[in-house]
Amino acid sequence: MTRPNDVGGAEGFGALVGVLPPDAPIVEAYGPDGRTAWTADWQARVWAMVIALGMNGICPASELRDAEERAAPGDYLAATYYERVLNGMELVLRERGLLPDA
């Protein structure tokens, strides 16, 4: 089964947006403050939850990635990186009975 993230060799996606030129200073790859990789506070919180859940063996990175990639193609492609991470984390926690259905 092909997942929405499996686009190797696919064409027709248009130009890449937001790609840094090869000679861009590294600081430009970070957020508006030049220090963090997040553009909003909620993204940092999501990342902190990923680290905490992974370090405690509740949601290993491999399971999180699998859950992210199981999203419907339209949902996967429309979501930002941190939205996909959050959705995947919610799915894993629901499947383990640690988060009630909404």
Q: Are 69 and 99 in contact (CB under 8 A)?
A: no
Query: What is the pTM assigned to this prediction?
Result: 0.68
Q: pLDDT digits over 69-98, tens only?
A: 998 888 888 999 999 999 999 999 999 999
Q: Are 31 and 81 in contact (CB under 8 A)?
A: no
CA-wise closest residue to 47 among 14, 95, 80: 80
- Domain residue spans in the chain? 42-95
Cα dihedral 15, 16, 18, 21, rounded to 10, equals: -100
What pLDDT is stored for residue 38 in this prediction?
Answer: 78
CA 51 vs. chain centroid, Å, equals 13
Q: What is the pLDDT along the chain (102 residues), one digit of tens a residue?
A: 566 656 555 666 666 566 656 665 544 455 666 667 777 888 889 989 999 999 999 989 999 999 999 988 888 889 999 999 999 999 999 999 999 987
Separation of alpha carbons 67 and 71, rounded Å: 7
